[in-house]
Amino acid sequence: MLAFLGQGIARAPFTAPSVRLNKGAHREKGLRVVSAIEIVELSKTFHGGRKALDAISLSIRPGEMVALIGASGSGKSTLLRHTTGLITADRNGETGAISVLGRVVQTQGRLASDVRAVRAEIGVISQQFNLVDRLSVLTNVLLGRLGRIPAWRGCLGLFNDAEKRAAMEALNRVHMGEYAMQRASTLSGGQQQRVAIARALVQKAQVILADEPIASLDPGSCHRVMETLADINKKDGITVMVSLHQVDYAIRYCPRTVAMRDGAVIFDGPSKALTADFLNDLYGAESEQLMLGQRPAASAAARTTESLPEGATAWAGA
């Protein structure tokens, strides 16, 4: 019965009808809502013949917060890197198209000529806290402006007052304002990820792609980073696609989950459908890799509903 149910959901069309969109998140173009991310039959074979992505199709609407789960090697990073246009798909005649906010990133193995403009709309957050260590937190956030200001001004570090104010606002938003003048290297992993989120806010990214942003953090920091992503998704309508190694966080923070195995999408639907039994059904023995063994602690759950203190000392240790 469960196997049947699993297959039924897994084979559903690439939509998640029960997923609720956040208010004001739709952008209308004529009568059609432009997808935030549209991927059509994307395949990737790396040198050596291994198929890392196998005809992936995916449609994510503006304002969605979507988890991408799967065991190590299932293709999550490869899919996200294609979406930012860092790598190109196979050219063997398959469609292999990706567009973000209605603008083509790549098609049939070729990047769009204006891919840089599309990239300016995409905030990227990676597992490796990609801040510049020796620069201040504030300067790191200002670097988010680089895609939007003349290169010479960015190179000289000539950010104007309005930009600095916006960077401070973004830092306050992620409860990192008090660290603005510190070097990035002095922050913990969780703090660095929140600064990376502030940088994406300053970039005015409409879409955030986060590749295992919590993979190397302690559980408390994991929750704070996921709460921050959920907050900007809800309040700013920023579309978030976040790859996660552990499904518990997907269930807790992302209304919709796309589950991958061996380069293919094997489930796309409401995260709450991902019970332990269903995961076992989808992944077999691999499912153990995807579960924490217990649901996030009640105390952590309570913290997400609290209003966060200004200056957030409680967050400072993350």
Ligand X SMILES: Nc1ncnc2c1ncn2[C@@H]1O[C@H](COP(=O)(O)OP(=O)(O)O)[C@@H](O)[C@H]1O
Name the residues that contact Mg ion, by CB under 5 A.
76-77
**Integer Cα distance of 208 and 229 in angstroms:** 9
- The least CB distance from residue 271 to ligand X, in Å, is 18
**Residues linked to residue 305 through DSSP beta bridges, in sequence order:** none
Question: Which of 2, 12, 26, 46 is in the footprint of ligand X by CB under 6 A?
Answer: 46
Question: Could you give the 3-state DSSP secondary structure of residue 124?
Answer: strand
- The least CB distance from residue 22 to Mg ion, in Å, is 27
**Integer Cα distance of 200 and 242 in angstroms:** 14
- The least CB distance from residue 5 to ligand X, in Å, is 25
Element (H, E) at 5: helix 2-10
**Residues linked to residue 13 through DSSP beta bridges, in sequence order:** none
**Integer Cα distance of 78 and 74 in angstroms:** 9
Size of the site for ligand X (CB under 6 A): 11
- Which residue, 203 or 271, is less far from ligand X as judged by CB? 271
Nearest to 119 by CA among 152, 157, 81: 81
- 219's contact among ligand X, Mg ion, none, with CB below 5 to 8 A by partner kind, is none
Element (H, E) at 240: strand 239-244
- 75's contact among ligand X, Mg ion, none, with CB below 5 to 8 A by partner kind, is ligand X
- The least CB distance from residue 294 to ligand X, in Å, is 23
- Residues 52-111 interacting with ligand X (rule: CB under 6 A): 52, 70, 72-78
- 92's contact among ligand X, Mg ion, none, with CB below 5 to 8 A by partner kind, is none
- Which residue, 52 or 66, is less far from ligand X as judged by CB? 52
- Which residue, 70 or 123, is less far from ligand X as judged by CB? 70
- 84's contact among Mg ion, ligand X, none, with CB below 5 to 8 A by partner kind, is none
The answer to whether the beta carbons of residues 267 and 282 sit under 8 Å apart is yes
- Which residue, 77 or 106, is less far from Mg ion as judged by CB? 77
Q: Based on the shown chain and the rule CB under 6 A, indicate whether residue 43 belongs to the binding site for ligand X.
A: no
- The least CB distance from residue 42 to ligand X, in Å, is 12
**Integer Cα distance of 251 and 257 in angstroms:** 8
**Integer Cα distance of 95 and 98 in angstroms:** 9
- 198's contact among Mg ion, ligand X, none, with CB below 5 to 8 A by partner kind, is none
- Which residue, 187 or 260, is less far from Mg ion as judged by CB? 260
- The least CB distance from residue 217 to ligand X, in Å, is 17
The answer to whether the beta carbons of residues 205 and 121 sit under 8 Å apart is yes
> What is the gyration radius of the CA atoms in the chain, in angstroms?
19
Nearest to 249 by CA among 269, 220, 277: 220
Specify whether the backbone of 48 is left (phi greater than 0), alpha (psi in -120 to 50) or beta.
left
- Which residue, 169 or 262, is less far from ligand X as judged by CB? 262
- The least CB distance from residue 279 to Mg ion, in Å, is 19
Q: Which residues bind ligand X (CB under 6 A)?
A: 46, 50, 52, 70, 72-78
